[in-house]
Every structure is written in C-alpha cells, then in structure tokens.
Amino acid sequence: MPMTLDGQLVVAISSRALFDFEEENTVFEQVSEQAYRQLQLDRLDVTAPPGVAFSLVKKLLAFNQPGADRLVEVVMLSRNDPVSGMRIFRSAHETGIPLQRGVFTRGRNPFGYLRPLGAHLFLSANESDVRQALAAGFPAARVLTESVQASNSHPHEVRIAFDGDAVLFSDEAERVYQSQGLDAFQQHESQRAADPLPDGPFKPLLAALHRLQQADNPHMRIRTALVTARSAPAHERAIRTLMRWNIEVDEVLFLGGLEKGGFLREFEPDFFFDDQTGHVNSAAQHVPAGHVHSGVANP
C-alpha cells in the first residue's frame, strides 16, 4: 500500500526560508547559475545557518514522537538544482531537522506540486511562487529573509500569529475600509456582527493547527494569536467568526491601528503572517514574518 500524508500537517518550504542562503543567492543573481551551483557543491560539508522559518519547522516536527504516527511532514519545495539539494539535506541532518522529502525543479516554479502534497502551508522567499500558490488556493507567504530570528524562550511551544482581514478572513471588510473609511468600516462590521466573515486564505492552516493541538502531545503545544488592526465595535464579528468555525485562538489583540511590531515582540511568535507590507516590515524588525499577497491591499 503506498505511503500517504493524509492526516498530517504538511508544510512545503523553500531552501531560503529554511536556511540562510542569502550569500549564495547573491552569487546566483549577480554572477550565474553555474557559479551558484559550484558554490553549493564546494560548501557541501558546510552546514548552512538557520533561516527565518527554521524555528517554526523544527518545533512543528517535534510533534512527531518515536513509535507514534507522524503528525507533521515538512517537504523541501525548491527551485534549486539536485546538486544544491544535497547540501540542503545535509544541513537539515546536521541541524536536527528530519527532512525526508524534497522536490527540486532547477528554476521552474515548483508550486504545482503543492496539490499532490496536500500542503497546508507554503513558505518561500520567491514572491512569484507565493502569489501563484495563493491563487491556486494554498496558504502561502513570502518569507522576509531579513527578519530577526525567533526567540528560544519557549522551546516546547509553537507560537504563530495571524492578521485577520485578508489572512484568516476574507478582505470583504477591508474593502469597505479602503473605499469608504474607518467610520463606514466600523458601521459595516457592527451591523453584521452576527454574520461570519468569509474564509480567508489562511483559514485552512489555522484549522490544521487546531487539529494538531487536539493531538494532546505532552511535549509540545501550539499557541496562536490573532493580531489585528480592528477595535471595538468591529471586534465582535471576528470573535463570532472563530466561534462559528469552532476554532479557538489563545490570544486576540485588537490594536485599533497601533503598530504591531512591539506587541509581536512581546508575544514572541515563531512566525507572523500579514497581508500589508507596512505591518510585515515593522514585524520583521522583531519577529520572523511573512507577507501574504492577498486581498485589496495587494492588487
């Protein structure tokens, strides 16, 4: 009987999201693909330093316990060539990442392989790949490789923070705000407080994380946060939407337009997802962050 990833949280990730390959990428962009490939071959025995999503991946994989069914699968999905792939697998082994599967397309867009993988998340430093993955219906974010590394202060807890509109929820309300202003937005949401917001691109990931949390692993847990520019009275619709989904989040921050970076620094997520570049750039100064190219803010 063939292997299957059914029932597992599946994360597809590019090499530059998992490891710090910025120096090698500069060679690729400024010299040539051949020079890049040779550099990776020359550094085959040099363990690559951790990248922005390294902490997130390592902690998620810690949900897999010896002798038990696997709960999480991480698959390398990369534009790299197979030769460069050897260094990626070696670096994963040396840094304690039990990476087993990988797809290397040598320059071709790899997002099409998300479907047979059944991926719940795709992280990449390539904006085009992320856009196409989102368009195909997969939660995906462009990793800001300049982000600071995650804190090591909570080794047995995966912390993930999400923006609301255009990320967990659709951009329905955001469109009202963009076209008519704050007062109209508040009125729109107050009048529809009992109506659930339509699903956003990252609802499937939040649902998968919720299922993973229900596995009740004694060694690892997940802590989620909704970090949104909403404030009262627009708060109620967001909370009621999560209740209708039967999904709980641990923390909700209704910031009413305050800059998110400082609050995220206190939450210490292993990753934060937002659709607006201003929020993502601010967050990246404090925590690992990714841009979700979704909604009216990203035409």
Q: Enumerate the active-site residues.
A: 163
Q: Angle at Cα 167 formed by Cα 255 and Cα 213, nearest 5°? A: 90
3-class SS at 122? strand
Q: How far apart are CA 202 and CA 208, in angstroms?
A: 10
Q: How far apart are CA 209 and CA 229, in angstroms?
A: 23
Backbone angles phi, psi at 160, to 5 degrees: -130, 130
Radius of gyration of the chain (CA): 19
* Residues 272, 264 contacting (CB under 8 angstroms): yes
Angle, nearest 10°, between helix axes 235-245 and 182-191?
40
**Which H or E run includes 124?**
strand 121-124
Which amino acid, 29? E
Q: How far apart are CA 41 and CA 97, in angstroms?
A: 20
**Which H or E run includes 103?**
strand 101-104
Backbone angles phi, psi at 293, to 5 degrees: -80, 80
Residue among 248, 26, 42 nearest 125 (CA): 26
Which amino acid, 174? E
Q: How far apart are CA 261 and CA 20, in angstroms?
A: 23
Can you tell me which residue has the tokens 């709960």? 71
- For residue 185, what are the contacts with CB-CB under 8 A and spacing of at least 6? 173, 176, 177, 234
